[in-house]
Chains A and B, each alone.
Chain A
Amino acid sequence: DTGVSQNPRHKITKRGQNVTFRCDPISEHNRLYWYRQTLGQGPEFLTYFQNEAQLEKSRLLSDRFSAERPKGSFSTLEIQRTEQGDSAMYLCASSLGGTANEKLFFGSGTQLSVL
């Protein structure tokens, strides 16, 4: 068990391009979360999955964002037609969930820079 893995670590793209990030959670964890963190701020919740079902999406997640978790294993987060405001660290976390006090295990994040 090597923890939560995120790829790529860094992504630089031009405005208007599409980008996709991948998260591999800890294998036995049924819940997977995406958060976004901008410079000098705490992480903000974007969405979460329980197994393959996406159960909640934040209003921060515009129509340009889509997340999937096929087969309840890894997850992808796609941003279409990127904007400069999308520049941020995208963090993935997983947990063996079911309660409000579940401990989250975070990956090191994908740093997105939109030029």
Chain B
Amino acid sequence: AQKVTQAQTEISVVEKEDVTLDCVYETRDTTYYLFWYKQPPSGELVFLIRRNSFDEQNEISGRYSWNFQKSTSSFNFTITASQVVDSAVYFCALSDGSSNTGKLIFGQGTTLQVKP
């Protein structure tokens, strides 16, 4: 069975601190995709990144970076120099590579609070 675990329920940091959100996944598929979505207080989930199981290169986009390690089944997300606008709930998600759909298995989410 597929599963995504985000062990950190809530994280609170002070602005400009770096913060890492952890994500561990379980799947028996050899082909799969991993995602991060952000849910601000307005409610809509906003896509941040997707990764396929064959691409373990780390990715950096501005202050955001992602570390994918198949050996530990982890896909962690780091925000560098956090800002108040980063405050939101962040979800890691997994999709079945064989289903060819956007049906995602989401983790429980990590609430990030960035204080000024």
Distance in angstroms from B112 CB to nearest chain A CB is: 15
Q: Does the CB pair B45–A106 fall under 8 Å?
A: yes
Contacting pair B96 A100 (CB below 8 A): yes
Given B96, B98, B102, B108, which contacts A104 in the complex, CB threshold below 8 Å? B102
* Given A100-B96, A101-B33, A43 and B101 contact (CB-CB distance below 8 Å): no
Stretch at the interface among A62-70, A77-85, A91-99: A91-99
Within residues 38 to 52 of chain B, which ones have a CB less than 8 A from any CB in chain A? 42-47, 50, 52
Min CB distance B52 to A, Å, is 6
Count of inter-chain pairs, beta carbons less than 8 A: 78
Of all chain A residues, the one with the shortest Cβ separation from B106 is A42
Instruction: From known contacts A100-B33, A103-B50, infer whether A108 and B44 are also in contact, taking CB-CB under 8 Å.
Output: yes
Q: Which residue of B lies closest to A45 (CB)?
A: B103
| Interface pair B102/A102, CB less than 8 Å apart | yes
Main secondary structure of the interface of A (DSSP, over half): loop
Contacts of B104 in A (CB 8 A): 43, 45, 104
A residues near B97, Cβ cutoff 8 Å:
100
- Alpha-carbon distance between A67 and B30 when the two chains are bound, in angstroms: 32
Chain A proximity of B114: nearest CB distance (Å): 20
Q: Give A97 to B100 CA distance when docked, in angstroms.
A: 8
The chain B residue sitting closest to A33, CB to CB, is B102
Report if A98-B107 is in contact (Cβ < 8 Å); known contacts: A42-B93, A103-B50, A107-B44.
no
> Which residues of B approach A to under 8 Å, CB–CB?
4, 9, 31-33, 37, 42-47, 50, 52, 91, 93, 95-109
**A residues neighboring B (CB under 8 Å):** 3-4, 31, 33, 40-45, 48, 55-56, 89, 91, 93, 95, 97-109
